[in-house]
Amino acid sequence: MTKAVRLDKLLANMGYGSRREIQILARSGRIVFDGSELRKADDRIALDVDLPARMEIDGEPLDPLPGMCLMLHKPEGVTCSHKEAGPLVYSLLPERWRRRDPALSTVGRLDKETSGLLLLTDDGTLLHRIISPKNHVAKRYVATLARPLRGDEAKVFASGTLMLEGEDKPLAPAMLDVVSETEARLTITEGRYHQVRRMFAALGNHVEALHRDRIGGLDLPEDLGPGEWRVMGAADIDRVFGTQAPGEDA
């Protein structure tokens, strides 16, 4: 059975305003459902998957229902954590989305100076499924290096024996593809602090620029520019879980 909730509760949780403000929206005829104005904020609405296509607020389609997932092209200089200085990735989204309940959260993080594919969701189960180490969801990064590759990086990264400074557990195997003498693609399945930068540092190199272009089997779309975002469909989410981890047998 499809769950039904009060209109004012639904829209307040989606960030459209307080329940009092939703009542005003309704009485003003600014909420339209299946072509008819909804003027009673205490009406119960079925949370059908097609609701955003059937309801409008001030002439605009209803935002995605709770359970949404976004892909965002994070630009450099934008942070994922409230603890870091600088603008947050959430500032790139509609302002009301910061008031949603359940709240939108980033699926893992990219540091301030790293660009590329970032996922956000209000679905806690999906978030933990993606970041859980047991699911081996791979992430691919393009690293631009200060010095030429020395030649043995792929072997060392794939060995599963590389230790990072200050840690007592070796890294899981990772896959390196050389693009040029100072550029490489690195695919990892872990998410340790500044991992990619520290991996190259452990071999005497320095990452000058870092960009994530893939999570699992989901590539950053070429037509999604820095700062732009897109709501993900079920097929996009399936792609996240659609590739095997580095070093796993077929």
Query: Looking at the annotation, which residues are catalytic?
Result: 111
What is the distance between the alpha carbons of residues 238 and 104, in angstroms, rounded to a whole number? 20
Whether 145 and 162 have beta carbons less than 8 Å apart is answered as no
Whether 246 and 189 have beta carbons less than 8 Å apart is answered as yes
What is the distance between the alpha carbons of residues 209 and 218, in angstroms, rounded to a whole number? 21
Q: What are phi and psi of 73, to 5 degrees?
A: -90, 100
Written as one string, the DSSP assignment of 118-170 is EEEES-HHHHHHHH-GGG---EEEEEEESS---S-HHHHHHTT----TT-SSP
Read off the DSSP letter of residue 110: -
What is the distance between the alpha carbons of residues 174 and 199, in angstroms, rounded to a whole number? 10
